[in-house]
Every structure is written in structure tokens, then in C-alpha cells.
Structure 1
């Protein structure tokens, strides 16, 4: 299944409490469970004013539908074609 990186502009995201993050995660998981097995949340990175999420999904439209149903911004959605890390240099 293709992998996607979603950039979400969320001012103040870096100041979210553990309780805030739990509530957001629960909302996301609830929406995902209603959408079936064609989309999966892998993990997210929270920065000062953005959240970067990594998902696997059959297509970009499904990623955008999840955002719409959950009320989450999806300011940019990019398909991942390769993953590199220090081991790539060896």
C-alpha cells in the first residue's frame, strides 16, 4: 500500500498537553476504524505549529477523506516514493 506524508497546519500544536494529544489520537483512530482497512495511520511528528503524519492508504483521496471526516487540516499530502537513512549511504 502506498505511503503518504500529510502536513497539517495547527497553530500551537507543540504546546498540546498529553491529554490533548490523546483526544486527537482517539478521534483519528475512531474515524480510521469506520473507514476499513484501506487506510492506516503509522505515526506523527508534532512541531511548534504543524503536525506531520505518515499514513498508508490505497490513494490520496482516502487520506483527504479521513481528514475531512475527522475535522483535521490536510494542508499538503505527498506520496512517499523512497525512504533513505544513514544506511542508504553504505
Structure 2
């Protein structure tokens, strides 16, 4: 599977309540189950005006299908080309 970053532009995302995030998570989990193909939702980050999600799937179209089934925006679906962090400095 390939890793993707998904940008979901949601006005005032910063104001989503815990209960709303719980409902979004439940909806996302149900959409994942309905796909019937390998798919992993790794983590999501809420910012002022968007939610950024890290998902793993075979291709971008599967990511978009998850969004359609869940009723979520998927304004940008970007494949991760490389990963690095502090550990990268070790060589």
C-alpha cells in the first residue's frame, strides 16, 4: 500500500467538538469497512481551516472513494514520496 496525505478544507475546523470528531471517526471507519479492499486510516490532524489525514491505500482513487462514501471533502490527495525526521540526520 502507498501512503497519502489528504487535505480536507473545512471552514472553522478548529471549532469541531470532541463529539463531532467521534462521529467523523465512526463515519470514516464505516467507509473503510465498506470498501472491501486493503485500506488504513493512520491519523488525522485538525488545523484552523482544514483536517489533514494520513491514509494508506493502493491508489488515490481508493482514497477518493473513501471520501465519497464518508461524505468528506478530499480537496487534495497527495502521495507521500519520502519520509524523514530527526533520525535521518544519523545517516
Alignment TM class, shorter chain as reference:
over 0.9
Residue equivalent to 1:30: 30
Structure-1-length-normalised TM-score: 0.96
Structure 1 unpaired stretches of 5+: none
Structure 2 unpaired stretches of 5+: none
**Cα offset, 1:69, TM superposition:** 1.1
- Which deviations, in whole Å up to 9, do the C-alpha atoms of 1:21-54 show, x marking residues without a partner? 0000000001111112421100000001100000
Mapping 1:55-70, distance limit 5 Å:
55-70=55-70
Residue equivalent to 1:42: 42
Runs of 4+ in 1 over 3 A off after TM superposition: none
| CA distance in structure 2 between the aligned counterparts of 1:74 and 1:49, rounded to whole angstroms | 13
Residue equivalent to 1:80: 80
| CA distance in structure 2 between the aligned counterparts of 1:42 and 1:73, rounded to whole angstroms | 17
